Chains A and B, each alone.
Chain A
Amino acid sequence: MKRSWASLEEFQKFLDHGGIVEPVDDMPREYRQTVFDFIEMHANSELMGGLTERDWIPKAPGLRHKMSVIAKTQDEIGHAHLLYMVAADLKIKTREEMMQDLFAGKSKFHNVFHYRAKTWGDQVAIAFLVDAAALVSQQAVFKNCSYGPYKRILKRIIAEEGFHLRFGEESVLRIAEGTEVQRNMFQDSINDWWWPALQLFGPDSKPNDLLLRWHIKSERNEILRDRWIQKFVPLLQGYGFTIPDSGLRRNEEKDRWEIGPIDWKPLKQTMIMGGPDSARRISEASDSWEKTGWVREALEKVSA
């Protein structure tokens, strides 16, 4: 059933009453574009995340970790696949166009994939802090998302991210129980990744945030960020690590952790592809796309 709305106000009313939009619907152009941009960025981030995960397959310590990293890589690339399908059905860009825009630095991906993972400690910090941050924000989108296909595919993705988070927690535990060298390595990683992970949620939501108004996101950025802070400060401290924030305070009255001021400059840099590792990451992704071109060619030949 194809639905249409007489005006943006009518459409807003439909969304406010919990309406779910399907691809066949005659949705307002602005909504289509906003949903598309959001899903495209999510898809790009899964792909970039999968590629950095892949780099650690040969370097992961021990067979158990190696197998987990292989499974994670397959999951992330798989999520990118599903999300690109959902995005392409919005008929704004084809899958091929989305790839080309990503490699040309014209479309966005999450800030955390603009930094380089230098050690296994970094990879564990990503699996622990970043995957958890991504999961917190995905759950908030899933809860009340007005775009049907995205909501349904998120359910699948969230279930798998749950496995990743458990892998991250187990890896942290193992490092925490490790030698002094291992613990120091992980402390360095926390120092490097704490702020990027925290900034994944973005700055405080603006009052006129379209993603909130159109029920794509269901909670404000600052609420999600705070939920993550309240969980991860005590967790890391419990393992005996410190948080690289001199402004961090415990507010006993409110029974909450309060952080120091956030420097948003690094986030802004990543938004314009000017992060410390943006250029290398993009060119790696593009190389990997070219190197696997023979697979796509073979598939095209089969279909001919």
Chain B
Amino acid sequence: MRIYEVFLKADGKEEFRHAGSIEAPTDELALVLARENYTRRAEGTHMWVVDRENICVSEEGFIDANLNKSHRHNDGERVAEWRKSQRNKKSNG
């Protein structure tokens, strides 16, 4: 038996979401068992099942490196300040 992770997509706008896992011997039966266990009340319109062994997981710290790159998040503050000063000039003038 293999362990499969089940992903469901609720409608056109939503992204696929992890729903849980299921034990099954083959891909085909994983789909059947996932349907019986996770979509009894139309919880989705699309389903993926993925053998857990085939999921590549990032090492610890691999994505942490991007936590401190604030230059990637322009907060627009300099431009906002400039606009504000322009407005103040106008109202004072």
A residues contacting B by CB (< 8 A) are 1-2, 24, 71, 74-75, 78, 81-82, 85-86, 89, 95, 149, 152-153, 156, 159-160, 163, 299-300, 302-303
Contact = CB atoms under 8 A, between A and B. Distances in A.
B23 A78 contact: no
Contact of B63 (A1, A95, A300, A303): A1
A78 to B, nearest CB: 5
Contact of B29 (A89, A152, A302): A302
Contact of B36 (A78, A85, A300): A78
B20 A303 contact: no
B60 A1 contact: yes
- Sorting the interface of chain B by its residue count into under 10, 10 to 19, 20 to 34 or 35 or more gives 20 to 34
A87 to B, nearest CB: 12
Contacts of A149: 20
A243 to B, nearest CB: 34
Contacts of A152: 18, 20
A78 B25 contact: no
Interface string B10-21: 000000001111
B40 interface: yes
Given A153-B20, A302-B26, 7 more contacts: A1-B63, A1-B64, A81-B37, A82-B20, A152-B20, A163-B41, A303-B1
B40 A74 contact: yes
Nearest to A159: B41
B41 A78 contact: no
Contact of B25 (A75, A81, A299): A299
19 contacts: A1-B58, A1-B61, A1-B64, A74-B36, A81-B22, A85-B20, A85-B21, A85-B22, A95-B23, A152-B20, A153-B20, A156-B38, A156-B43, A160-B41, A299-B1, A299-B29, A303-B1, A303-B2, A303-B26
A59 B63 CA distance: 57
Interface of A is mostly: helix
A13 B22 CA distance: 33
Interface in B22-39: 22-26, 29, 36-38
B22 A300 contact: no
A98 B92 CA distance: 77
B60 A2 contact: yes
A302 B25 contact: yes
Contacts of A299: 1, 24-25, 29
Contact of A78 (B1, B21, B40, B64): B40
Interface string B34-57: 001110110100000000000001
A302 B28 CA distance: 11
A78 B20 contact: no
A152 B6 CA distance: 13
Contacts of A2: 60
Contacts of B38: 156
Nearest to A302: B25
Nearest to A3: B60
B36 A156 contact: no
Contacts of A302: 25-26, 29
Contacts of A71: 40
Given A95-B23, A299-B1, A302-B25, A75 B40 contact: yes
